């Protein structure tokens, strides 16, 4: 296992270097001058220009430039945002918690609803139930997320007027950021309106998180169902049945833990798509977050924000997909066999 972890760590490092290489090459192709694209300062004074040239080794050869670029970026200096002239790293760390909040809520909805439904779909012998669950999941899988978001906000936000359709909280509340997670910050807020602010934050997250949850939900249902169908045929389930165990016990104790392994694996594979969807959802519901920040960055041709955002988001996704792979291996002894067999 130790050797495996070292190999995954190597993979993470190698991927990060490759990612920085890609960003370095693309930065060279941005249709602006190089010091501007690197630092975000539009009209640098001569001392600033000197600083930029020194920092990024602009007079050196490509390799020196690349090393200087990698050092600066990994050292946390992502340059200044072209539009706001604030450090990009500051804006990124401010925007990240909001996106994590949305992703966590959507992921929880998907797993907490998807796994039970998948189990029910696999246990049901009724053709109608099976077909309707499959039809619903297939439709959910095919819906364009931007259109779903618009339709939901049109129905529940505008026509029924039940839920707010934009932002993270009503503008009446001035919540001091502590963790960056609105749901936690409102509870930490030292005010008599704490509970109503929390309720408001919850109302604001319902529509975006449901929109975002549709894709992972359908995937979880389908994978859980097919995994359960395979597992319920296994001899050890028959043995448990022969021992006279209750169906509930068999499903929960013997079948479900094994059925969750492929679900975990597919979540890792889905991460990229999920992140794309999360960014679109943030734009539609005008929520603060990395997605809306990056998309407005590209509208304004904010080259430093684009580089910093892409680097940050891509590294987070790579980290999580490797983490899920490691977890998958740790939980699944069968895949460990493969590691030792492989050279």
Q: 46 or 343, CB closer to another protein?
A: 343
Closest separation between CB of residue 143 and another protein, Å? Answer: 6
Q: Which of residues 240-279 bind another protein (CB under 8 A)?
A: 271-273, 275-276, 279
**Do 291 and 98 touch, CB atoms closer than 8 A?**
no
Return the range that interacts with another protein (CB under 8 A); candidates 89-97, 142-150, 234-242, 259-267. 142-150
* The token pair that represents 291 in the structure block: 């997605």
Q: 150 or 237, CB closer to another protein?
A: 150
Q: 188 or 314, CB closer to another protein?
A: 314
Closest separation between CB of residue 26 and another protein, Å? Answer: 5
Closest separation between CB of residue 146 and another protein, Å? Answer: 5
Distance from C-alpha of 278 to C-alpha of 272, rounded to nearest angstrom: 10
The residue from 314, 326, 332, 336 that contacts another protein (CB under 8 A) is 314
* The token pair that represents 320 in the structure block: 């999580």
Would you list the DSSP string of 76-116? T---B-TTT-SBHHHHHHHHHHHHHHHHHHHHHHHHHHHHH
The residue from 1, 18, 67, 112 that contacts another protein (CB under 8 A) is 18
256-284 helix and 290-299 helix, angle to the nearest 10 degrees: 40
Q: Which of residues 281-300 bind another protein (CB under 8 A)?
A: 283, 294-295, 297-299
The residue from 86, 238, 246, 301 that contacts another protein (CB under 8 A) is 301
**Alpha-carbon distance values, 185 to 101, 196, 201, 207 (Å):** 11, 13, 10, 20
Q: 143 or 237, CB closer to another protein?
A: 143
Sketch the per residue contact string, 100 through 139, with another protein: x for CB under 8 A, - otherwise: -----------------------------------x--xx
Beta bridge partners of 87: 80
Cα-based angle 137, 331, 258 (whole degrees, multiple of 5): 45
Using CB under 8 A as the binding rule, whether residue 29 contacts another protein is answered as yes
Q: What are the backbone angles phi and psi of residue 300, rounded to the nearest 5°?
A: -95, 5
Using CB under 8 A as the binding rule, whether residue 147 contacts another protein is answered as yes
Size of the site for another protein (CB under 8 A): 51
Using CB under 8 A as the binding rule, whether residue 229 contacts another protein is answered as no
**Do 186 and 201 touch, CB atoms closer than 8 A?**
yes
* The token pair that represents 180 in the structure block: 């960056």
Q: What is the dihedral of CA 320, 321, 324, 330, to 10 degrees?
A: -120
256-284 helix and 303-331 helix, angle to the nearest 10 degrees: 170
Using CB under 8 A as the binding rule, whether residue 144 contacts another protein is answered as yes
The residue from 280, 282, 308, 328 that contacts another protein (CB under 8 A) is 280
Contact partners, residue 167, CB within 8 Å, separation at least 6: 204, 285, 286, 287, 288
Would you list the DSSP string of 313-332? HHHHHHHHHHHHHHHHHHH-
The residue from 6, 14, 42, 323 that contacts another protein (CB under 8 A) is 14
Return the range that interacts with another protein (CB under 8 A); candidates 8-16, 41-49, 62-70, 83-91. 8-16
Using CB under 8 A as the binding rule, whether residue 219 contacts another protein is answered as no
How many helical (H) and strand (E) elements, i.e. helices and strands, does the chain have? 15, 0
Closest separation between CB of residue 87 and another protein, Å? Answer: 20
Which residues lie near another protein (CB under 8 A)?
11-12, 14-15, 18-19, 22-23, 26, 29-31, 135, 138-139, 141-147, 150-151, 154, 158, 271-273, 275-276, 279-280, 283, 294-295, 297-299, 301, 303, 306, 309-310, 313-314, 317-318, 321-322, 343
């Amino acid at each position: 296992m130790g050797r495996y972890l070292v190999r995954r760590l190597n993979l993470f490092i190698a991927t990060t270097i490759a990612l920085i290489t890609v960003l370095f090459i693309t930065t060279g192709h941005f249709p602006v001058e190089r010091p501007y694209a690197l630092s975000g300062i539009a009209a640098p004074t001569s001392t600033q220009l000197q600083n930029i040239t020194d920092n990024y080794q602009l007079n050196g050869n490509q390799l020196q430039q690349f090393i200087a670029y990698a050092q600066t970026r990994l050292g946390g200096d992502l340059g200044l945002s072209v539009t706001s002239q604030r450090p990009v790293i500051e804006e990124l760390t401010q925007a990240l918690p909001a996106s994590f909040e949305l992703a966590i809520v959507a992921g929880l909805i998907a797993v907490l609803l998807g796994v039970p439904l998948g189990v029910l779909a696999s246990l049901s012998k009724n053709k109608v139930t099976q077909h309707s669950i499959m039809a619903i999941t297939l439709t959910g899988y095919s819906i364009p997320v931007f259109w779903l978001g618009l339709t939901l906000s049109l129905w529940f936000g505008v026509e029924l007027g039940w839920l707010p359709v934009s932002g993270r909280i009503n503008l009446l509340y001035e919540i001091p950021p502590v963790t960056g997670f609105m749901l936690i910050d409102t509870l930490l807020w030292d005010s008599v309106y704490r509970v109503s602010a929390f309720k408001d934050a919850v109302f604001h997250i319902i529509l975006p998180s449901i929109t975002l949850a549709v894709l992972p939900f359908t995937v979880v249902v389908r994978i859980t169902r097919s995994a359960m169908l395979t597992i319920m045929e296994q001899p050890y389930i028959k043995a448990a049945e022969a021992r006279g165990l209750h169906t509930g016990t068999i499903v929960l104790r013997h079948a479900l833990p094994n059925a969750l392994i492929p679900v975990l694996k597919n979540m890792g594979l889905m991460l990229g798509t999920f992140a794309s969807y999360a960014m679109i959802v943030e734009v539609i519901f005008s929520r603060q977050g990395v997605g809306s920040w990056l998309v407005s960055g590209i509208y304004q041709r904010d080259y430093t924000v684009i580089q910093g955002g892409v680097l940050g988001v891509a590294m987070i996704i790579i980290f999580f997909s490797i983490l899920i792979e490691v977890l998958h291996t740790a939980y699944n002894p069968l895949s460990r066999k493969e590691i030792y067999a492989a050279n």
